[in-house]
Amino acid sequence: MNLKDFQWLREPQDYQIGEDRIEITTKPHTDLWQRTYYHFRNDNAPLLQTETQEKYFSFVVKTEFQESHHRFDQCGIVMYLDSDNWLKASIEYENDEYQHLGSVVTNHGYSDWATTAIDASIKSMWYRLSRREDDFCIECSSDGISFRQMRVCHMYEGKETIRFGIYACSPEDSSFRAVFTHMRMTECQWKAHDGQQPDEEG
């Protein structure tokens, strides 16, 4: 992927972009969240995204976060359409025992958060975001070869042109360096469903 095709939304103060390496140093009190459960809205995390009209593709990136150390420190993939419609996947630091590997899908201004606990010693993760029209699949991998599904979701505003890429943030009083490498866009690796047939229209 040509990183020159990527643009910042909320450009961070401290970052470096190389040929195949992006480093972001997060600022405290940066986050993405909308309403649900916590009843607050945070929309100030820096995002580096590119734009496409392609209906079927997969986007892969490796994240490293050796310095992540404070509750909710996170970095990962994002597809941000506007403040009310986006998705993200990341590992969020919790404590010195475990972290949350999870994803957030936000449709029409309401976020959810689906997670699983993983060991706090894990300091890198690959992600793959796949699109089939306005449906999306998020996967993760420890080695960049074998991916496992995190979730399948629908984006109500994801029918036409979308923007996707990477993000990093520290929702509380913290800062860390997030590293992104091996970014690539491929043919859609999320194959068409071969089980129960679709319902007939009408």
Mind listing the pLDDT tens digit for each residue in 121-168?
Answer: 999 999 999 999 999 999 999 999 999 999 999 999 999 999 999 999
| Paired residues of 58 in beta bridges | 130, 186
CATH number, residue 50: 2.60.120.200
Domain-embedded: residue 131: yes
- Please state the pTM of the whole predicted model: 0.95
Mind listing the pLDDT tens digit for each residue in 26-78?
Answer: 999 999 999 998 888 999 999 999 999 999 999 999 999 999 999 999 999 99
Domain-embedded: residue 195: no
- The mean of the pLDDT values for the chain is 96
State the pLDDT at residue 128. 98
State the pLDDT at residue 39. 84
> Whole domain around residue 108: which residue ranges?
3-186
Which one-letter amino acid corresponds to residue 77?
I
Residue 93 in tokens: 């630091």
Domain-embedded: residue 57: yes
State the pLDDT at residue 196. 87
Domain-embedded: residue 201: no
Cβ contact 68:48 at 8 Å: no
State the pLDDT at residue 198. 82
Domain-embedded: residue 94: yes
Q: Which residue has the higher pLDDT, 200 or 112?
A: 112
Helix (H, G, I), strand (E, B) or coil at 114: strand
Mind listing the pLDDT tens digit for each residue in 88-116?
Answer: 999 999 999 999 999 999 999 999 999 99
Q: Which residue has the higher pLDDT, 196 or 9?
A: 9
Domain-embedded: residue 144: yes
Domain-embedded: residue 194: no
State the pLDDT at residue 97. 97
Number of domains in the chain: 1
Domain-embedded: residue 79: yes
Residue 6 in tokens: 């990527």
The answer to whether residue 202 scores a pLDDT higher than 70 is no
Place of tokens 């957030």: 104
> Considering only CA atoms, which of 84, 104, 91 is closest in space to residue 41?
84
Cβ contact 26:90 at 8 Å: no
